[in-house]
């Protein structure tokens, strides 16, 4: 099995599952960014190898519905600060728009998908949903230690769509 240290990422779109479920105050300011900061080394490693990164995460427990305060868009400013570059945002984690964003990425770019848990299929481990997510990358990296025990679409089911191009990040 590959690791992020022995896989050739050059020219790939790398789908990475992270855990950016960070606490926020009532004004949607991040109060503890530890989960984001600890994922940075894995993402930087992938970017440094000439790949683009498609970030999947959840934020809160929206129960399969859109909740503005749980939009991953709220954490983009912190990501841009940490990486020192513009971070693209797809307003959904699946569908035509997400595919368009992913397909147009250049090496070194970062795309963050909207909250996975806005779709109940994520929590159900739905295979069709996982298949749609898998279309957004050429390789899959599981870097979400805090959710690794869950049989969700983005943490478990998705791996079957990457028989050879899957690996763990530094946090797992």
| Residue 120 tokens, joined | 């109940």
- Show the DSSP H helices in the chain as ranges: 34-48, 76-83, 96-103, 120-124, 127-134
> What confidence score (pLDDT) does residue 168 get?
93
Tell me the pLDDT tens digit for each residue of 100-149: 999 999 999 999 999 999 999 998 999 999 999 999 999 999 999 767 66
Residue spans per domain, the chain: 2-168
DSSP state, residue 51: -
Task: Supply the pLDDT for residue 3.
Answer: 86
Model pTM score: 0.95
Query: What pLDDT score was predicted for residue 148?
Result: 60
From the number of C-beta atoms within 10 Å of its C-beta (0-12, 13-18, 19+), residue 125 rates as: middle
* Residue 172: per-residue pLDDT: 79
What is the rounded CA–CA span in Å between residue 23 and residue 123?
A: 20
Residue 1 confidence (pLDDT): 67
Nearest to 8 by CA among 43, 45, 55, 54: 45
| Alpha-carbon dihedral sign for residues 131, 135, 140, 144 | negative
Parts of the chain with a pLDDT under 50: none
The second-level CATH assignment, the architecture, of 2-168 is 3-Layer(aba) Sandwich (3.40)
> What is the pLDDT, as a whole number, of residue 152?
87
Count CB neighbours of 112 within 10 A: 23
Helix residue ranges per DSSP H, 49-137: 76-83, 96-103, 120-124, 127-134
């Amino acid at each position: 099995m590959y690791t992020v240290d022995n896989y050739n990422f050059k020219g790939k779109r790398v789908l990475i599952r992270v855990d950016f479920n960070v606490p926020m105050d009532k004004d949607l300011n991040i109060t503890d960014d530890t989960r984001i900061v600890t994922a940075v080394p894995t993402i930087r490693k992938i970017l440094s190898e000439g790949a683009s990164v498609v970030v999947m995460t959840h934020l809160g427990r929206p129960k399969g519905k859109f909740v503005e305060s749980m939009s991953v868009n709220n954490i983009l400013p912190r990501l841009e600060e940490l990486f020192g570059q513009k971070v693209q945002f797809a307003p959904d984690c699946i569908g035509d728009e997400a595919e368009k964003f992913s397909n147009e990425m250049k090496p070194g770019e970062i795309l963050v998908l909207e909250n996975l848990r806005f779709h109940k299929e994520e929590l159900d481990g739905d295979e069709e949903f996982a298949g749609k997510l898998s279309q957004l990358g050429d390789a899959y990296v599981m870097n979400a230690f805090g959710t690794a025990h869950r049989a969700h679409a983005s943490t478990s089911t998705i791996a079957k769509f990457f028989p050879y191009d899957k690996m763990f990040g530094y946090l797992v």
